[in-house]
Amino acid sequence: MSTTVPLNVNTVADSVTTSPSEGATATTASIVCSGIGNGVTISAAVFAVFAFINACVQTSGWRRRQGFPYVECTTIFYFFLSFCDNLANVILVVGLGYSTYLFAANGNAGNGETINILCATFVIAVGIAFLFKLVHVIYVIYEQSTCDIFLVDWEKPGSTGGSDKVSIWRCIFVANEWNEIQTSRKISTHFQMFIVLFVLSIINANVPAFAKSDDDGALNRFTIGGLTYVIAALTQILYYKLFHERVIKDQMRDFMDLCSVCNVSVFVLSHNNFGYYIHGRSVHGKADVDMSELSHMLRREEEGLVPQRGLISGSDSQVFEIMIPHLMRQKIDSIYRPLQQNIIQAQKEKQRDSMKVHNIMKTFLQAFFDHALLDLDYIVTEKLFFEKVFGINFQEATKNAYLTIADDYAFTNALYYGNETVLLSFDILLFFLINITTDNYVIATAVTYLIGEVLAKLRSEVGCHNLAKKTLIEKIFLI
- pLDDT, residue 34, reads 53
Q: What is the mean pLDDT of the chain?
A: 83
CA angle, 98 as apex, 96 and 102 as ends, to 5°?
115
Query: Does residue 336 have a pLDDT over 90?
Result: no
Say how far apart CA 61 and CA 305 lie, in whole Å: 42
Confidence of residue 26 (pLDDT cuts 50, 70, 90): very low
Q: What is the mean pLDDT of the segment spanning 326-339? A: 90
Complete DSSP assignment for 30-72: HHHHHHHHHHHHHHHHHHHHHHHHHHHHHHHHHHHHHT-SS--
Query: Does residue 285 have a pLDDT over 90?
Result: no
Domain presence at residue 86? yes
Q: Where are the beta strands (DSSP E) in 107-240?
A: 148-153
Window from 167-176, 207-216, 268-277 with minimum mean pLDDT: 207-216
- pLDDT, residue 11, reads 43
* Distance spanning both ends of the chain, measured CA to CA: 106
Q: What is the mean pLDDT of the segment spanning 25-43? A: 60
Q: What is the mean pLDDT of the segment spanning 9-32? A: 45
* Model pTM score: 0.86
Say how far apart CA 84 and CA 68 lie, in whole Å: 22
Query: Which of 464, 466, 469 lies closest to 479, judged by CA?
Result: 464
Query: What domain range includes position 169?
Result: 15-251+417-477
Note whether 393 and 404 are within 8 A (CB). yes
Domain presence at residue 269? no
Q: What is the mean pLDDT of the segment spanning 412-435? A: 92
- pLDDT, residue 139, reads 95
Dihedral Cα 166, 172, 177, 182, nearest 10 deg: 130
Complete DSSP assignment for 221-247: HHHHHHHHHHHHHHHHHHHIIIIIIII
Q: How many CB atoms within 10 Å of residue 157? A: 10
- pLDDT, residue 106, reads 61
Domain presence at residue 202? yes
- pLDDT, residue 165, reads 78
Query: Does residue 62 have a pLDDT over 60?
Result: yes
Note whether 353 and 338 are within 8 A (CB). yes
- pLDDT, residue 258, reads 94
Complete DSSP assignment for 111-125: -HHHHHHHHHHHHHH
Cα–Cα distance list, 299 to 247, 249, 288, 293, 374 (Å): 21, 21, 17, 10, 38
Q: Where would I find the H helices in 274-406?
A: 291-302, 326-341, 347-369, 385-390
pLDDT tens for each residue of 183-221:
999 888 889 999 998 888 887 766 555 544 445 556 677
Domain presence at residue 155? yes
Domain presence at residue 302? no
Structural domain total, the chain: 1
Query: Does residue 5 have a pLDDT over 80?
Result: no
Q: What is the mean pLDDT of the segment spanning 37-62? A: 88
Percent of the chain with pLDDT over 70: 82
Domain presence at residue 320? no
- Phi, psi values for residue 371, rounded to 5°: 60, 40
Work out the angle between the directed axes of helices 189-206 and 441-471 (0-180°, nearest 10).
Answer: 170
Note whether 282 and 260 are within 8 A (CB). yes
Query: Does residue 392 have a pLDDT over 60?
Result: yes
- pLDDT, residue 399, reads 87
Confidence of residue 479 (pLDDT cuts 50, 70, 90): confident
Per the model's pLDDT, the better-predicted residue between 272 and 438 turns out to be 272
Q: What is the mean pLDDT of the segment spanning 468-472? A: 91
Query: Does residue 387 have a pLDDT over 60?
Result: yes
Domain presence at residue 273? no
- pLDDT, residue 356, reads 87
Window from 149-163, 334-348, 383-397 with minimum mean pLDDT: 334-348
Half-sphere exposure for 434 (CA within 13 Å, toward CB): 17
Work out the angle between the directed axes of helices 169-181 and 441-471 (0-180°, nearest 10).
Answer: 160
Dihedral Cα 230, 231, 232, 238, nearest 10 deg: 110
The alpha-carbon radius of gyration of the chain (Å, integer) is: 29
Q: Residue 308 forms beta bridges with which residues?
A: none
Query: Which of 44, 372, 409 lies closest to 245, judged by CA?
Result: 409
As separate numbers, helices (DSSP H) first and strands (DSSP E) second, the chain gives 14, 6
Per the model's pLDDT, the better-predicted residue between 112 and 48 turns out to be 48
The residue type at 204 = N
Percent of the chain with pLDDT over 90: 47
Q: How far, in whole angstroms, is CA 97 from its chain's centroid?
A: 23
- pLDDT, residue 19, reads 47
- pLDDT, residue 257, reads 93
Domain presence at residue 313? no
pLDDT tens for each residue of 216-256:
556 677 778 888 888 999 999 999 888 988 888 899 999 99
Confidence of residue 7 (pLDDT cuts 50, 70, 90): very low
Q: How far, in whole angstroms, is CA 58 from its chain's centroid?
A: 15
CA angle, 123 as apex, 119 and 129 as ends, to 5°?
135
Say how far apart CA 274 and CA 411 lie, in whole Å: 11
Confidence of residue 36 (pLDDT cuts 50, 70, 90): low
